[in-house]
Amino acid sequence: MAGIDDLFKGNVATGLAVGLGVAILAPVIAPIVANVGRPIAKSLIKSGILLYEKGRETAAELSEIFDDLVAEAKAELEGLQTAAPAAGAVAGAAVAATTPAGDAPAPAAERPAGDAA
């Protein structure tokens, strides 16, 4: 396959002919290429804008979903934290109800110093 370098190696006259042809045809071909290229470029730009907007919408939706999940997780953690002290109080009441009054361990203030509970 002959490249453009091979065209200029052979003869100076061939190189001049090609250069002259390009110089003459460039003003004719350039507007045609511009007229064809402009709508293509415009459609590519429009597609890019639409793709960008769709990406922004998707990112906003994902952010909203993530924020909702974080809020739900925080609410569940707060629910567990408020339920834990109440569960401890219920367990303590159950132990107190099952322990006879005479067998209950003495509070720390009433115990002798060397006595461990």
Q: What is the pLDDT of residues 34-69, one digit of tens each?
A: 888 889 999 999 999 999 999 999 999 999 999 999
Residue 68 lies in a domain: yes
- The overall longest dimension of the chain from CA atoms, in Å, is 124
Q: What is the pLDDT of residues 82-112, one digit of tens each?
A: 877 665 555 555 555 555 555 555 555 555 5
Residue 38 lies in a domain: yes
Mean pLDDT of the chain: 78
Which two structure tokens, joined as six digits, stand for 103? 């067998």
Which two structure tokens, joined as six digits, stand for 105? 């361990």
Residue 95 lies in a domain: no
Residue 2 lies in a domain: no
Tell me how many helices (H) and strands (E) the chain has. 2, 0
Which two structure tokens, joined as six digits, stand for 43? 């459609």
pTM of the model: 0.43
Residue 60 lies in a domain: yes
Residue 52 lies in a domain: yes
Count up the domains in the chain and report the number.
Answer: 1
Residue 41 lies in a domain: yes
Residue 106 lies in a domain: no
Domain that holds residue 44: 11-85
What pLDDT is attached to residue 56? 97
